[in-house]
Chain A
């Protein structure tokens, strides 16, 4: 069974550009969440989607956006990139939503974004 797949794995962008990252969840999983990980701030929640609806959003500026498609695949977009956006962006998927037993959350390998 394939895990969470994220593309691209590595990318370098210039300040002011925009970037789109893609995530394919585990087959059958309908919930996708995105996180940003930096050495200074650790892992921070960006947003989560379930059945194409954004269910929750973290404390990030409006330059960060996302969406989920009918096949549960998700994309996130960062516009007008800043140097501080350099980070590992992680996608996580789970079968359902909520804290019921068995609803475990799995991470993809991440997309490493460097802004120069």
Chain B
């Protein structure tokens, strides 16, 4: 089992729809969870981070965390063509003070105009 798993996609949604991106992780000791957006040829850009179970909203983005199920998701409301990118889920390993991130392979999102 991979440490951080994401569906590689592509996930295709029409403009204005809700895009739902999912991530599962294996380390129960992980405490914080990050979503990065990466456009082709660019570096990862932090979109959201979440530490507590439940939902965290920031504009059109909502991160959802369920530690019991080891599952974190990112919802993008009113999807725009400019949201088309690869979305990376990143999780620090549990058990120590570290900023090391373990990344999933990323989900490619394509928003169709």
Residues of A within 8 A of B (CB-CB), count: 28
A24 to B45, CA, bound (A): 17
The reply to whether A105 and B43 form a contact with Cβ atoms under 8 Å apart is no
Tell whether A48 is near chain B: CB-to-CB under 8 Å: yes
Is A105 a contact of B46 with CB atoms below 8 Å? yes
A sample of 15 inter-chain contacts (CB < 8 A) reads: A33-B99, A42-B103, A42-B104, A42-B106, A43-B90, A43-B101, A48-B98, A48-B99, A55-B97, A56-B98, A58-B100, A99-B30, A103-B99, A107-B44, A109-B43
Contact-residue bracket for chain B: 20 to 34
- Interface-forming stretch among A12-20, A66-74, A77-85, A90-98? A90-98
Q: Using CB atoms and an 8 Å cutoff, list the residues of chain B in contact with chain A.
A: 30-32, 34, 36, 42-46, 49, 51, 88, 90, 92, 97-106
Q: Mark A26-52, 1 if CB is under 8 A from B, else 0.
A: 000001010100000011110010100
* Nearest residue, chain B, Cβ from A98: B97
Whether A56 contacts B100 in the complex (CB less than 8 A), given A42-B106, A90-B44, A104-B49, comes out as yes
Q: At the interface, yes or no: A101 with Cβ under 8 Å from chain B?
A: yes
How many residue pairs bridge A and B at CB < 8 Å? Answer: 68
Minimum CB–CB distance for A72 against chain B, Å: 13
| Chain A contact residues, majority secondary structure | strand
The smallest C-beta distance from B34 to any residue of chain A, in angstroms, reads 7
- CB–CB A55/B34 < 8 A: no
A48–B100 touching, CB < 8 Å: yes
Return chain B residues, CB-CB under 8 Å to A48: 98-100
Closest B residue to A44 by CB, please name it.
Answer: B103
Known A-B contacts A42-B105, A99-B32, A107-B36; the reply to A31 vs B99 at CB < 8 A is yes
Bound CA span A90–B100, Å: 13
CB distance from A60 to the nearest CB of B (A): 13
Q: What's the nearest-Cβ distance from chain A to residue B98, in Å?
A: 5
Apart from A98-B97, A108-B43, list 11 A-B contacts with CB within 8 A: A43-B90, A44-B103, A48-B99, A56-B98, A97-B99, A99-B92, A103-B32, A105-B34, A105-B90, A106-B46, A110-B43
